[in-house]
């Protein structure tokens, strides 16, 4: 009988914080600077230098801990993680080992099967290493600008079972970091990095299998693809009679496969010991409560509120709240609507998810730089909702509005796009069209209901294109139901 396997997955997420200075010195953390200019004797590891802890590093990791329902340790300490590599100038990394500042938390993700909780083992502080550059046609070069940049490492419990769940979890962690405004969440630039620990076991077995660690996961899709590949690779090994080796794997995106990078290190390989140059970090209750009170509404809560408050479909709410700035822009637009209600709220959502996000993508800009304001979009929705212009004309108004400060009402006047909604005038046009088309009127009343579009089109044509189509349709239906004209 064929064995069915399940995967056991845990993710280690490294987030580079948006502090202006490094973790233990005053050097700048600006991305993209010339190589080896944002350095000093402290982050270069010169003898006799002493580190000084960046207060923002502590505050921001506590915020992340609170946002992920972690316990916050009142006293925590730093350790030295010892290893030799060319881009680690001190020969050790300042990190936390025995007593991480945040522990025992959880987050909730929304899967196709419903909500699922993923445990957070620990979140700890550490500093980044430098960067080795291998892709030049000369020897490997080292840029130490990144050495000492503050990181937090978020380690999940092995609660993830599929590649899709890992994808959703990583997206959720990124969203929390961005909503807290402590990390820009850019995987491509390396400010968010992810390693996956993966093992398999027969369904029903309680003990874990041998795990591998997969690195070089620089996009959400690569995380999902690499985990899918590694699960399949391990199953093939076991079913072929071989054993899974505890190694570190590298994801090769060009070949879409994992390959062995090195043997897996254990904690004792790093010879952790207490950092002698830094005192304990103490987070008292008042400091913790102050940080807790400053937490913003996070993405998942905002998504659920958008569904209940604005009556949005779950899909719309998820798209709009994926970016905190877009979510705020949507709420600002809704607040400026003249006619409040689910139909108008949905119209705002439609405009943002189609036309506004298209501009953002084309120009690679944020929503605040897309060329219009929330007030302008609300004015556009209003003139469509009250029948001033048609949905078709609204596209022309939207295009004319970009890059200006004009409202939709002003542009409708300038462009001469106002719809004719005078019922008396439209009823006269309807009567004229029916009187001048007796044959088609007889055919309609004989069962050819598709002629309704013909009659409406004739009225709009006679109005010079200004007649309100919805109102004309309503009046025309009413007239056609009359036995005689």
Secondary structure of 305-330 in HEC code, one letter for each residue: HHHHHHCCCHHHHHHHHCCHHHHHHH
pLDDT for 1 equals: 44
pLDDT for 165 equals: 97
Each residue's pLDDT tens digit in the chain (485 positions)?
A: 457 999 999 999 999 999 999 999 999 999 889 999 999 999 999 999 999 999 999 999 999 999 999 999 999 999 999 988 889 999 999 999 999 999 999 999 999 999 999 999 999 999 999 988 876 667 789 999 999 999 999 999 999 999 999 999 999 999 999 999 999 998 888 899 999 999 999 999 999 999 999 987 889 999 999 999 999 999 999 999 999 999 999 998 889 999 888 776 666 688 999 999 999 999 999 999 999 999 999 999 999 999 999 999 999 999 999 999 999 999 999 999 998 999 999 999 999 999 999 999 999 999 999 999 999 999 999 999 988 888 888 999 999 999 999 999 999 988 877 765 667 777 888 888 888 888 888 788 878 888 888 888 887 787 766 677 777 788 888 888 776 54
Question: What is the distance between the alpha carbons of residues 154 and 54, in angstroms, rounded to a whole number?
Answer: 19
Instruction: Report how far apart, in Å, the C-alpha atoms of 8 and of each of 68, 198, 214, 277 are.
Output: 21, 6, 13, 39
Name every residue whose Cβ is closer than 8 Å to that of residue 54 and which is 6 or more positions away in sequence.
19, 21, 22, 23, 24, 150
Give the DSSP letter string of 277-298: TSPPEE--HHHHHHHHHTPPPP
- For strands 247-252 and 257-263, give the pairing: antiparallel
Instruction: Quote the crossing angle between the two packed helices 163-179 and 55-67, to the nearest 10°.
Output: 130
Residue 380 CA to chain centroid, in angstroms?
Answer: 27
What does DSSP assign to residue 28? B
pTM across the whole model = 0.85
What b/e sequence results for 375-401 when a residue is b if at least 16 CB atoms lie within 10 Å of its CB, and e otherwise? ebbbbbbbbbeeebbbeebbeebbebb
> Hey, what are 26's tokens?
């005053």
- For strands 247-252 and 212-217, give the pairing: parallel
Q: Are 96 and 102 in contact (CB under 8 A)?
A: no
Helices vs. strands in the chain: H and E counts, helices first: 16, 16
Q: Domain 423-480 classified CATH 1.20.1340.10?
A: no
Name every residue whose Cβ is closer than 8 Å to that of residue 434 and which is 6 or more positions away in sequence.
441, 455, 479, 480, 485
Residue in the structure block whose two tokens are 């009225």: 459
Strands annotated E in 330-394: none
pLDDT for 300 equals: 95
Instruction: Report how far apart, in Å, the C-alpha atoms of 74 and of each of 62, 63, 193, 438 are.
Output: 11, 14, 28, 87
Residue in the structure block whose two tokens are 């990394």: 93
Q: Are 255 and 233 in contact (CB under 8 A)?
A: no
Question: What is the distance between the alpha carbons of residues 160 and 174, in angstroms, rounded to a whole number?
Answer: 17
Instruction: Report how far apart, in Å, the C-alpha atoms of 378 and of each of 321, 345, 382, 389 are.
Output: 19, 10, 6, 14
> Hey, what are 345's tokens?
């709220």
3-class secondary-structure state, position 8:
strand
| Residue 44 CB neighbours (<10 A) | 17
Domain with CATH 1.10.10.410 in the chain: 423-480
Which is it for the CA torsion 474, 478, 479, 480, positive or negative? positive
pLDDT for 485 equals: 45
pLDDT for 483 equals: 64
Residue 263 CA to chain centroid, in angstroms?
Answer: 34
Residue 396 CA to chain centroid, in angstroms?
Answer: 31
């Amino acid at each position: 009988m064929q064995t069915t396997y399940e995967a056991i997955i845990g993710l280690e997420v490294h987030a580079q914080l948006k502090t202006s200075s490094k973790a233990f010195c005053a050097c700048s953390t600006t991305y993209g600077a010339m190589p080896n200019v944002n350095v000093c004797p402290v982050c270069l590891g010169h003898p006799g230098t002493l580190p000084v802890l960046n207060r923002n590093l502590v505050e921001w990791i506590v915020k992340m801990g609170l946002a992920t329902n972690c316990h916050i340790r009142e006293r925590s300490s730093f350790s030295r993680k010892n290893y030799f590599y060319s881009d680690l100038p001190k020969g050790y990394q300042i990190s936390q080992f025995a007593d991480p500042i945040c522990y025992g938390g959880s987050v909730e993700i929304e899967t196709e099967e419903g909500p699922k909780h993923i445990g957070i083992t620990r979140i700890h502080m550490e500093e980044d290493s430098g960067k080795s550059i291998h892709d030049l046609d000369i020897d490997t070069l080292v840029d130490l600008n990144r050495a000492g940049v503050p990181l937090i490492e978020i380690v999940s419990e092995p609660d993830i079972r599929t590649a899709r769940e890992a994808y959703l979890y990583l997206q959720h962690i990124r969203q929390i970091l961005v909503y807290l405004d402590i990390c820009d969440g850019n995987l491509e630039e390396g400010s968010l990095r992810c390693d996956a620990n993966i093992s398999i076991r027969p369904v029903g077995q309680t003990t874990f299998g041998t795990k591998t660690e997969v690195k070089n996961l620089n996009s959400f899709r690569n995380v999902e693809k690499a985990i899918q590949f590694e699960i399949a690779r391990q199953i093939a090994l076991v079913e072929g009679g071989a054993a899974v080796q505890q190694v570190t794997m590298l994801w090769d995106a060009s070949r879409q496969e994992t390959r062995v990078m090195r043997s897996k290190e254990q904690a004792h390989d790093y010879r952790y010991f207490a950092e002698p140059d830094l005192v304990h970090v103490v987070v008292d209750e008042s400091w913790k409560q102050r940080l807790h009170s400053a937490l913003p509404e996070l993405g998942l809560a905002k998504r659920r509120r958008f569904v209940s408050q604005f009556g949005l479909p779950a899909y719309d709410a998820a798209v709009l709240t994926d970016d905190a700035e877009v979510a705020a822009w949507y709420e600002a637009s809704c607040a400026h609507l003249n006619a409040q209600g689910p139909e108008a709220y949905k119209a705002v959502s439609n405009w943002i998810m189609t036309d506004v996000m298209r501009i953002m993508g084309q120009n690679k800009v944020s929503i605040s730089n897309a060329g219009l304001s929330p007030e302008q979009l609300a004015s556009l929705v209003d003139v469509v909702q009250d029948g001033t212009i048609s949905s078709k004309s609204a596209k022309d108004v939207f295009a004319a509005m970009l890059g200006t400060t004009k409202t939709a009402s002003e542009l409708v006047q300038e462009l001469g796009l106002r719809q004719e909604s005078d019922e008396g005038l439209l009823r006269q046009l309807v009567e004229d069209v029916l009187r001048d088309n007796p044959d088609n009127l007889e055919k309609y009343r004989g069962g050819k209901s598709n002629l309704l579009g013909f009659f409406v089109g004739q009225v709009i044509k006679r109005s010079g294109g200004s007649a309100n189509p919805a109102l004309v349709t309503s009046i025309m239906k009413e007239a056609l139901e009359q036995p005689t004209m």
